[in-house]
Structures are given as structure tokens and as C-alpha cells.
Amino acid sequence: MTLTLLMARVNNIKRTEEIFPFYSKYAEFQPVIIHSRIKPSEKTQIIDKIKRKESRIIICVDMLGEGFDLPELKIAALHDIHKSLGITLQFTGRFTRTKTSIGEATLIANIANQEVNDQLINLYSEDAEWNVLLKKASTEVINSQLENNDFLNGFAEGLIEEIPIQNIYPKMSTVVYKTKATRWYPERIKEIFPLDQELLYTVHSEKNILVAVIKSISPVSWGDIQEITNVSWDIYIAYWNQSSNLLFINSTMGGIHRELAESIIDSPLLISGEEVFRCFYGINRTILQNVGLNDAFQGPVRFTMYAGTDIEQGLTEAQKRNTFKSNIFGIGYENGEKTSMGCSYKGKIWSKKITTLSEWFKWCDEIGSKLLNNTINVDTLLEGVLKPKIIKDRPNFMPISIEWPMSFTIDLESNIFIVINEVEYPLYLVELQLETPSSEGNLRFKVCTESFESQFELVFHPDIEGKNYQYSHFGSLPIEIHKGSKKMPVTEWFLEDPPIFRFIDGSYMENNIYVSPHSTVSSPFHLEKIIPWSWDSVDITKESQKEEKRKNSIQYFLIQDLITKDYDVIFDDDSAGEAADVITIKVEDQRIKVEFYHCKYSSEERAGSRVSDLYAVCGQTQKSIRWKESIYALLRHMEKREAKRIKDDKPTRFEKGDLKKVSEIRKMAKFYPYDLEITIVQPGLSKSKMSVEQMELLSATENYLQETYKINMRVIASE
């Protein structure tokens, strides 16, 4: 009979002493403790006892080390569970190795009061199927998890034991130095701090990364009291990319960047001035938050800050010879994600993110490639940013959509309520819609639920006190917005937190702040992206299938075609508050593929070249890109809208799949990336009769989808 071994895992050395008494009563198994502070000779004796099966209970902080492999390790007691999926998989692998003479592995985990990431919540939940979840985890995320672990394991041991390297989350910022060195000297960091100052550091020799933590003690500023001092800990991170010969330095306390750079590498040259602003290269739809200018001659007014609608003036001033850009910060989209970027002529570069060491390391390489790109023209780059300006009258462009205020994010749609005659409706059941849109006159819109709508308008007039605009409400019932502790009428709320009007040319407006695109010329929309269908059995003037499933409607005809395809979920989301008219989901090739279908009825019985048939559906398409930010928010949206149908005893929204399937997909989303594609369905559009105006609108819409989240778009139309 083969004897099995039990390993009890805890977080730290102190915990081994706390746990040992629970096992010491099983004297026949000779429990032992093993950790990094045990003397090497004693550790060797303990391991020999384990290998001889004299000691069959091992209490340790982590595994027994690489190279130690006993298939008899078949029972794991996790008093403190790992908080990293990669380490959990590695740990579990030790207990699941096959040996014919030994039974199956057993793992017991303490799941009370544990703070773990989302991937481990599934793993340690009740009734979790470990065979399935571990297989998914190991095939879908183990590579990235273990890649991160390999990165962290590359740091030298012993120098920073008191501070776990994986728990360091630096701000995304750096200064950058050009170098011509063939080697660097990270250990010289000891030379720039006083001997009495506590310094902990570690080095990743393969990646050339130095991480140092410095303890500083200083007198309090509010009195001459020797008994009380301020104690602070600061971090310094240095990374030398040998191939590009760039040195990146990040710290929580400035002042010694140059001294540190000159200490650890020969002849570093700080990148500053205009070169720094190359960091904005590749960021689409950049809208600057502030621009700081310095006077080149250091006159009485040396520094001027421009923000909001003054940005355009600031950029104009920056082109004059007597001023130069001091710092710039803006937000935009890069690589299909929202991003932010700031930089100072003195050399500092930053983003509003706090991230892992490995992500900071990758970000530095991306920044470095921009800084070394001599083809980037900073002036041309900044000419292309979006510039907000104050307007006196509404733009003379056709509006195509109205959206809730920017602060009404998709994650909050269950926490924001529209109050109609004292009845609260969550945001996922309410929608803003344009009312009789026109290229001139007041901007009319309505607040809609499935059974109610009320009209409003935005009015521009020079005689309006305090502002040149106001909101008017034409309904008799009071309509308010309730968010947190704040509650006020829609007309008052929108004065402070405005809705977003989008126009046919790609511009948008929030109250009297207008942002126009830097170019009205978009890439042409390709005709091959327009798929002609035959709509013989459909009344193309009827859009929705409604709850009664109207068989001659556009939406019903579309859904019947989708049902023939291999989707996991087909969801009818049509009605106020929708993400799209139809949502499909397919899990395939370790990705979650979501498709939005936006349907629109034809204004006439025959297809043609009417651009008016595209206004609303293109606006709806542009509005829906916000769902790319979070697959979890989209799935919650679907669940809540289906729950409302069930509560009202109405037909399900699911044409295929169900709530259980959505729940399964949400669990997969912890491992799989998420793709979104959007399709416009307008049978009133004739592919063979496409007008220039229709092509321009489709082109502007596609360009917006690509510049923001890199979403692909296609169109289903008529011949």
C-alpha cells in the first residue's frame, strides 16, 4: 500500500506556527514545518524524512521548491488560498499527477473571508466542477497568468522579501533617458541614499528592471517636536531597454531621477521638450483636458493654463514664437480601448492608470517606440485633436442621435432612475429619442418607456439669463432624474449634466459646448459591406416584431434567418432602453463574439436612395458602441430586461438560449476576450441605388466605430 502525504498551505511563517497545533495531535504522522528561514541543514533533514514517508504532514508557506516532486502528495489543505490563478494552477498540478497505486487527489480550501480575483471565485464556489474549470483556466488563461508569474519570478530573491513584488501597483508614469551604454549598474542605487536610510531593492536581470523601496524619516512640519516624526515609504522603478537604449524611471517622489539615472547607467540624456509630445501619436479622437504654456522670455506672466473650451486658444498660442507647450493632458482611444495621456516638456509622461509591474514594463516599450519615431510631427499631431468651443446657436447639421449624459455609464444603469409622476424606472427601461429631427430650429427630443413618452426641447436664445440656452418640457406629468442622493427635474439636471447630441458630420454637442471632427472626410464605405436581401414576404415599413411576433416585420424576418445559424444566444432587446434590436452571442475559438443588429423601417414601401432612412439607425449604431466597454454590463442588461418580462408575465426575450446560458457565458467572460460587431438592417436602402449622401453617412458611422473601439460594421439592405 502506498502512503499518501498531506500538505497544509498558509500565507506566511507566523501562520505556520498558528496552524501547527491543529496537526501536532496526529503524532503518528510526525507533522513538520518548512519555510525559508529554516537553516539549510535542518531543511535537508526535514525533506529526507518526508521522502522516507516518516513525516506525512507538511506545513509550509509555499511549495517545497522546484525539483521536489512526490506523486504521493495527494491531500492539500489550503488554510490560506492563493490569490493568483496561475499559482493556484501550478500548486494544484502537484496534487493531480497520476500514479496507478494512489487514489485521486483531495483539496480542502478555507473559503471564508478570502479576497480573491474573479477567476478564483468560480474555482472555490460551492459545487464548482474543478475538472471543467481547471481545464478551461489552464487552456485559456494559464499562459498569461504564468507569463506574469515568470516575469515576477525573474526578480532576485532575498533583497525585498518584506514586500511581495506581485503586490506592487505603480502609477503609469515615467521619465525617459536616451543612453549609449552597453551595460547598466542597478546595484549602485545604494550609493545615492544615506547609509542610515532604509533601502530594499531587487533586480530582474533578464528584463533589466530595478525595483527599490526607500524609507524616509523627517520632522513634522507643524512644530519642533523631536519625539514625533513623519515616516514615508517611496518606490523607484528603473527599466533599461537595451535594444532601444532607453532608460525609464518611475517614482512616487521626484527630485532624484537624474541622480539615479547617472548612477546606474553611463551618460544618460533626458528626453524633454517637443519630443515628449510624440506620445499622443496613435491616439484617436483625442480631446484635450488642459494645455499649459510657458512664456519663452519668462515675462511677468510666465505660465498660463488653458482648459475646456479655452484649449483651442491655447493651441493657437502654442504656435507663436514667444510661447512653448509646458504640459498637455487628454483622453482618446488607442488599440480599441479608452486611454489617457499626459506629458510635460520637462520629460514626465503619464496616464491615469494604476497597473501591474509587467503592464508598466510593456507600456514603457510602447512609449519608447513613439519617442524614437522621428517621422512624428508634433504640431501636425496636435492640430488633429478635437477642440471644444462655446457656440451661440445650434449647429446647422442634421442630428442623428441623443444620448444620456457622459456620467451615466453602462455600469450604473441599474442605479440611475427616471422618475415619472413619482414612479421610478431604472435607466435600462428608459430611452432618449430625437423627436422630428431637423437641421434647424430647436432640438426636440423625448423621454420614453415602453408605455410612456414625454417631449422636451433644447432652446438657444441670446436673451436667456445666465446662459444662452435652456431646456423646456411640454408634458403635464413631472419627470425627474434620481441618481444617488441627488434628485431633480430633467430640465434642471441637463443644465448641469447635459445629454449628448450627435450630428451627421461626426460632431457632437453638450449644451453650448460643441466639438467638431478634425476632418469631415472619412474613408469611403465599401459596397461589398452591403449585403442585399430579398424582402418579398416583409412589409418593410414595419420594424419591430413586438411581443406578438409579427411575421411580416423586419425584425421577425431577421431573427428567422439568425435562428438557422449556430448562435448560443439570440435575444430580442427591442424597446426603450435597448442596447440593440437583436443581440446574438457565440462562444467560439476561445472568444465571446457578440453581434448587435439595429433595425429600421423604411419610410416608403420601396427601397431607394433616401438618406433620411439612415439617420436614426446610424445614430443608434453610434450610440451602442459604449457596450464594448464591458461584457458584464451587457449581460446584466439582458438579465434585467428578461427578468422584467418574466415579472410582467410576458413572452421571453430569448429566441435562442436562456438566462442559464447567459450565466454560463458570464463565467466564461472571466477567461475569454470579447468581440463586438454591429450590423445595420435597413431594407429601405437599395444597394444598386446608393446615393452619395447615404455613402457619406455610412462612412462617417463606420469611421467612428473604428476610431473608438475598432468595431466592424456591415449593412443588410435591399438589391
Question: Per residue in 393-438, pLDDT tens?
Answer: 999 999 999 999 999 988 889 999 999 999 999 999 999 999 999 9
Of residues 710 and 131, more confidence is placed in: 710
Strand order in the sheet with 106-109: 32-34, 57-60, 5-9, 73-78, 106-109
Q: What is the average pLDDT across 276-299?
A: 80
Q: Domain for residue 361, yes or no?
A: yes
| 116 confidence band (pLDDT: 50, 70, 90) | very low
Q: Which grid coordinates are listed for 74?
A: 495527494
Please say whether the beta carbons of 238 and 209 come within 8 A: yes
Q: How far is CA 415 from CA 345, 482, 638, 663, in A?
A: 42, 9, 16, 21
Q: What is the average pLDDT across 607-615?
A: 96
- pLDDT value at 322 more than 70: no
Q: Domain for residue 197, yes or no?
A: yes
What does pLDDT average to over the chain? 86
Residues 6+ apart with CB under 8 A from 618: 400, 401, 680, 697, 698, 700, 701
d(CA 3, CA 686) in angstroms, rounded, equals 77
Q: Look-up: residue for cell 429600421?
A: 600
Where is the domain boundary, 339, 368, 385? 385
Q: Domain for residue 287, yes or no?
A: yes
190-214: pLDDT as tens digits: 888 877 778 889 999 999 999 999 8
Long-range pairs of 358-361 with CB within 8 A, sequence gap ≥ 24: 358/147, 358/148, 358/151, 358/152, 359/172, 360/170, 360/172, 360/174, 360/237, 360/250, 361/151, 361/207, 361/209, 361/239
Helices assigned H by DSSP within 444-553: 490-496
Residues 6+ apart with CB under 8 A from 126: none
Q: What is the average pLDDT across 636-650?
A: 96
Is the same domain home to 360 and 471? no
Q: Domain for residue 155, yes or no?
A: no
User: Model-level pTM?
Assistant: 0.77
| 299 confidence band (pLDDT: 50, 70, 90) | very low
| 66 confidence band (pLDDT: 50, 70, 90) | very low
Q: Domain for residue 158, yes or no?
A: no
Is the same domain home to 640 and 710? yes
Is the same domain home to 569 and 650? yes
- Which stretch of 185-189, 194-198, 492-496 has the lowest confidence by average pLDDT? 194-198
Is the same domain home to 587 and 713? yes
Amino acid (1-letter code) at residue 361? F
Q: Look-up: residue for cell 513613439?
A: 370
Where is the domain boundary, 102, 120, 148? 148
- Which stretch of 223-232, 304-313, 336-345 has the lowest confidence by average pLDDT? 304-313
Is the same domain home to 550 and 687? yes
Q: Which grid coordinates are listed for 598?
A: 439595429
Is the same domain home to 264 and 315? no
Of residues 222 and 637, more confidence is placed in: 637
Q: Domain for residue 522, yes or no?
A: no
d(CA 560, CA 564) in angstroms, rounded, equals 7
Q: How far is CA 512 from the centre of its chain?
A: 30
Residue 459 has a pLDDT of 96
- pLDDT value at 217 more than 70: yes
Is the same domain home to 554 and 496? no
| 228 confidence band (pLDDT: 50, 70, 90) | confident
d(CA 694, CA 692) in angstroms, rounded, equals 5
Residue 125 has a pLDDT of 46
Is the same domain home to 614 and 548? yes
- Which stretch of 230-234, 553-557, 616-620, 640-644 has the lowest confidence by average pLDDT? 230-234
Of residues 122 and 72, more confidence is placed in: 72
Q: Domain for residue 159, yes or no?
A: no
- pLDDT value at 94 more than 60: no
| Cα dihedral sign, 479-483-487-491 | negative
Q: Which helix (H) or strand (E) holds 251?
A: strand 246-251
- pLDDT value at 666 more than 50: yes
430-484: pLDDT as tens digits: 999 999 999 999 999 999 999 999 999 999 998 887 788 999 999 899 999 999 9
Residues 6+ apart with CB under 8 A from 518: 383, 384, 385, 386
Q: What is the average pLDDT across 152-170?
A: 76
Residues in the chain: 719
Q: Domain for residue 436, yes or no?
A: yes
Long-range pairs of 584-590 with CB within 8 A, sequence gap ≥ 24: 585/657, 585/662, 585/665, 587/665, 587/668, 587/672, 590/139, 590/140, 590/671, 590/672
| 134 confidence band (pLDDT: 50, 70, 90) | very low
Is the same domain home to 694 and 573? yes
Q: 120 by DSSP, 3-state: which?
A: helix
Is the same domain home to 194 and 266? yes
d(CA 234, CA 253) in angstroms, rounded, equals 6
- Which stretch of 58-72, 127-141, 256-270, 479-493 has the lowest confidence by average pLDDT? 127-141
| Cα dihedral sign, 696-699-705-711 | positive
Q: Which grid coordinates are listed for 373?
A: 519615431
Q: What is the average pLDDT across 21-44?
A: 90
Domain containing 395: what range?
391-516
Strand order in the sheet with 582-588: 530-533, 712-718, 674-686, 591-599, 582-588, 569-572, 654-656
Is the same domain home to 228 and 99? no
Is the same domain home to 532 and 507? no
Number of folded domains that form the chain:
5
d(CA 142, CA 261) in angstroms, rounded, equals 36
Q: Which grid coordinates are listed for 394?
A: 445650434
- pLDDT value at 130 more than 50: no
Residue 167 has a pLDDT of 81
Where is the domain boundary, 344, 359, 385? 385
- pLDDT value at 514 more than 70: yes
In CATH, what number is assigned to the domain containing residue 67?
Answer: 3.40.50.300
